[in-house]
Amino acid sequence: MILFPERQRELAKAKRTPANRDQLLICFSHLRWDFVFQRPQHLMTRFARHYRVVFFEEPVERDGLAAPALERRLTSGGVEVATPLLSRGMAPEDRLAALSGLVDALVAEEGQPAIAWYYTPMMLAFSAHLDAACVVYDCMDELANFRFAPADLLSLEQKLFDRADVVFTGGYSLYEVKRQRHGNVHPFPSSVDRAHFMKARAAHREEPADQAPIPGPRFGFYGVIDERFDIALLGAVAEARPEWSFVMLGPVVKISEDELPRRANIHYLGSKTYEELPAYLGGWDVAIMPFAMNAATRFISPTKTPEYLAGGKPVVSTPITDVKRHYGDIVGVRIARTAEQFVAACEAALVLASEPEAWLPEVDLLMSSQSWDTTQARMDGLIARVLDEAADRRVESRAMAL
């Protein structure tokens, strides 16, 4: 296993508060740390203020690898990212054995985790043997509805429900489905780092070089462009209003780039870092969420909704259930299903963009109660109950043994 550099280990300890720094949280995630900064990154960065957090990623395959290894590095937020390195072409049973061995090596060095946190049931296949005091399933999406979902995902999810001490969901729609499957389920819809995205409201800011030449009015989107994105809707709206510009930021995943609509007024600028997003958002007139209405979007609670609003931009979205539930009555949010409705909603949103005083106060009042810090603190409180109960059981067990 690749060892963690001693200087980085000292730095990691310095970033932790003394209270819980000896408690280990291992987060098993199907989303890579450096992919898109979203719910797992927001939460784990905040948990790292109180715990030793190891973010266990999907494995990377390499040719000519002598033995499985665990590549480890420390992020600026104090989270340690652990990436398994496996030989290309391993048999499934050998792959699971290798991953299990890497988990064991990690625990041998760091100690048994106080918390085993899962974003994907698939990683339970090689980590179920961990003796964690608290098992958390943060069900942020209905992964079984996504393209290329593994055949055994649902069976492993049931095992995770059976093993979990507490379950969080990424929205209320998902909560309504999952609460029947576990006795300790809590909804935690997408939250927002208001201070970060309010930078988009700055009157004087430097325009990103690749966005600066794009004429207005600008309608923008950032996020993963995959099967949840309604590419036909975007193409139809762009064709209906050739004088408008559409700025698309983010990686294209699980669909071919050849499927994307290509028009002179649609600009694909690629992936941007979390730090760069406010600068791009600040240059838009309207933020859009042209999500497809399909199985993959049935239970989503898009993080970008509160981020767009915190940035001071009116939002036009397709009728995603949790968007309608939480934001449908806000003046600054317009809901539209068809291309014609979407164009009309964008026209109305352009008017709102020119008179922010008419709707931003309502948005700011709503955003004042939303915070990733608050979400993390509430989650931590629920986890603390489980840890306290586990500690009480250990005390009782020792007392009975005397």
pLDDT in tens, 355-401: 999 999 999 998 888 899 999 999 999 999 999 988 877 677 666 66
Cβ atoms of 57 and 43 closer than 8 Å: no
* CATH number for domain 194-367, candidates 3.40.50.2000, 3.40.50.11540, 1.25.10.10, 3.30.70.270: 3.40.50.2000
Are both 6-191+372-401 and 194-367 of the same fold? yes
| CA nearest to 129, candidates 139, 143, 116 | 116
Tokens of 360: 């931003």
pLDDT in tens, 2-59: 444 443 444 444 444 444 557 999 999 999 999 989 999 999 999 999 999 999 999 9
| Cα angle value 380/323/318 (rounded, 5°) | 145
* CATH number for domain 6-191+372-401, candidates 3.40.50.970, 3.30.70.1350, 3.40.50.2000, 1.20.1250.20: 3.40.50.2000
User: Structure pTM?
Assistant: 0.89
Taking CB atoms within 8 Å and a gap of at least 24, the contacts of 154-159 are 156/121, 156/122, 156/124, 156/125, 157/121, 159/121, 159/124, 159/128
**Region at 254 (left for phi over 0; alpha for psi -120 to 50; beta for the rest):** left
Cα distance between residue 271 and residue 249, in whole Å: 6
Residue stretches of the chain with pLDDT short of 70: 1-21, 394, 397-402
What is the model's pLDDT at position 277? 97
Strand-pair partners of 186 = 168
Q: Provide the residue ranges of all domains of the chain, joining segments of one domain with +.
A: 6-191+372-401, 194-367
What is the model's pLDDT at position 144? 76
The residue behind tokens 């600040």 is: 282
Cα distance between residue 109 and residue 101, in whole Å: 12
What is the model's pLDDT at position 117? 98
Cβ atoms of 141 and 40 closer than 8 Å: no
